[in-house]
Structure 1
Amino acid sequence: MGAGAWGTALAKVLADAGNSVRLWSRRPELADEINRTHRNAGYLDGRLPDAIQATSDHAEALGGACTVLLAVPSQTLRANLTQWKDSIGTDTTLVSLAKGIELGTLMRMSQVIVQVAGVDPSRVAVVSGPNLASEIAQGQPAATVVACTDSGRAVALQRALATGYFRPYTNSDVIGAEVGGACKNVIALACGMAAGCGLGENTAAAIITRGLAEIMRLGIALGAKPATLAGLAGIGDLVATCMSPHSRNRSFGERLGSGGTMAAALAASGGHVAEGVTSCESVLALASSYDVEMPLTEAVHRVCHRGLSVNEAVALLLGRSTKPE
């Protein structure tokens, strides 16, 4: 459900693994384009498998589906799922592909799904890892985490996603997978800002490492397992998003770091706001409610929402009192 880059890339993975796939697009003209040309050129390069059938009718997409992957942006998930829930089967596995914390409620995406769809948490899974959509669409080797408290559903989804180039690992720690996915976009913005103002690899390494430290503090406070955040859904996803030029969050941060305004960065991104710009607000609020200190996240929030310059943010972070690691 969602024909953006990530939704389309996973639809390709599922089709390549031998599944019959229906891909829902909000725009009828995009669904027609995919069916006619077997391409989604606005988001990804390359031809899509014939096993993918696109539609803009959510009831048609959901009817009879045993697994539903939710690939809409995190802040629109609630509104979309409210429209879709009556078309979802009574034992369907619901899979969150969105990475974020909902503004206002401060809920993780799996919690939003449980509340809106009225399903047991054991029916909800999360897919998260170092998964840049463009590389996966090209068939480059990648790995991911399938997190679900129901081991049977996790294994079924693992088998559905396993291809020669895409390797899924199962995990029962839904909280850890979601915290890692939500927070890494914010740290990627910080890495981009540093690169944009001319800082090098030492700085990037420090941001990634200290970013992981604050992600782990929040994750552990919420009940996540440290091992999850030390794995693919944590450090793996963090490194890929922080370092890749294909990462929207890193690229957005780089534009800000090179002196661009929020409006200019938004225009250069084709009007798409990087997920971390919204997430930094909800992640910081969630951290505050658990009395967890997240200085990098706070600095990104001040740049994106409070008018602080990137140079001022760097000076602020370097001026913090020294302490043991």
Structure 2
Amino acid sequence: MSFRNLRRYAATGLFGAVLAGAGLFAGQASADTYKWITSKPQGANDAQAISTQWFVDEFKRRTGGKHEIQVFWGGSVAKTREIPDALSAGAGDFGDIITPYFQDKFPLNNAVGFFIPQPNSTIEIALMMQKWHRVYPQFDAELAKHNLKAVGFRPLESYGLLCREPVKSLDDLKGKRIRTYGFAYPKIVEAMGATPVSIATSEAYEALQRGILDCTPIGPALARGWKYDEVAKYFVEFPFGASFGHLVAMNRKSYDAMPDDVKAVVEGLGREYAMRYAVDLEIQIAEVLRGWKDSGVTVMEFPVDKAAALVGNPGVQEIRKTWIEKANAAGLPGEEIAAELKF
């Protein structure tokens, strides 16, 4: 049953009965099986799905088989953009939240999305997020407002530009149509002299194929996963840095209801998760780069100093200032945190 249908039952007053009958109520203390809701398809051979399965397997092993997690793959309970509300409402205990889709809802936890380009790698961003949640209670409080708790962090890989034509300098980008999303990407693309185009991830393949897009920001693993590299054959190592991608989150009531020893297992897995995921991701990226040599994708360098100079653009600076102001308003040292995200 999808989250959409659950909401329909809620409107008729049958929500509790349906959830109880379906076994979907999160936080059932008597249950030994927790539910993980995700839009990832079962059997997907990527770092996100592989590390999810690792977490699930380790949870069962470390609790001595007394507790386990059942994964509801492929958006079977909630689609990508429904997951935060579904998880908050109790349609699952664990779930993946793609935070860049919810920058207005989780602005603090989307800090990295306001600072593109930035110089940090996947694991560096993951460790930053862990530190910020440990040191600054405002990050956790933002999630708590929605009955959510972060238990792991899954940044995206370092992005470059996948293009239909070679790009060696900023002059080559002028007038190009480049896919953007969120707050920072449109401004950095404008600073390049290019045109930002808002197109959904699922529609970008056809847009590249038909020439509606000239380039899209993406990393090698995701480019292969979405098969964009079939229609765009030049990967430009433009130093966007790693974006923050996914929270591995829990329904907060489910977490609070866990016995202390089970909480300790979850917290331990959460600390280890970032490294496990980052290693899986690097393995996958290396495999993609080897495959590109045979499939005709050319990897092109781009001067870091030329890219970093774009950060001084007034539009880019305004987006960064926006996040710092939000952070300061929440009682955070906005400038101090932002310093970690600057070239």
What's the TM-score, normalizing by structure 2?
A: 0.26
The structure carrying a bigger strand percent of its residues is 2
Q: Which has the larger radius of gyration?
A: 2
Larger relative CO (CA 8 A, sep 6+): 1 or 2? 2
What's the TM-score, normalizing by structure 1?
A: 0.27
